[in-house]
Amino acid sequence: MEIKEIKKNKDTYLDLLLIGDEDTKMIYKYLDKSLLFALFDNSRLVSVCAVLHIDTDTIEIKNLATYPQYQNRGYASKLLNFVFQKYTGQIKNVILGTGENEKTLNFYKKRGFLQTHRLTNFFIDNYPHPIFENGKQLKDMIYLKKFL
């Protein structure tokens, strides 16, 4: 397994980024300003993570996505651990926003994230079409935080 920082042509990873964020316009709002890390297994791209510096103390995970055929194999956890190790001693907080999906929320909570707040109707107000996960329409953005 290898994790690489992608510095050029980040939009070539759009198909995978769209798994984590279903709207191209939303992705382009943060993609150029973010660091993009890609995890490869046997030279095959399986997962990506977009990280945005918010301030001197905080980074935000803007997108964490794994191709469906590689999900539940620990790839996203490996990428998160890579990010935690990379920024330990440099920043204090990792934040992220996600939909109200129990599986996703539990994934992050198992990795030390705590829920801080929610943005009511974020997905309704900011996306041109309804977003569904596990048969449930996403409405609120749930924010989580981890202290490094």
The CATH number of the domain holding residue 16 is 3.40.630.30
Across all residues in the chain, what is the average pLDDT? 94
How many separate domains does the chain show?
A: 1
- For 41, residues 6+ apart whose C-beta sits below 8 A from its C-beta are 1, 70, 75
- Which residue shows structure tokens 């918010």? 54
Per-residue model confidence (pLDDT) at position 142: 96
User: Which stretches does DSSP call E strand in 25-75?
Assistant: 35-41, 44-55, 58-66
Strand partners, 133: 136
**Would you say residue 122 has pLDDT above 90?**
no
Q: Specify the pairing of strand 44-55 against strand 58-66.
A: antiparallel
Judged by average pLDDT, the poorest of 43-52, 89-98, 129-138 is: 129-138
Q: Which domain holds residue 116?
A: 2-147
What percent of the chain has a predicted confidence (pLDDT) above 70?
100
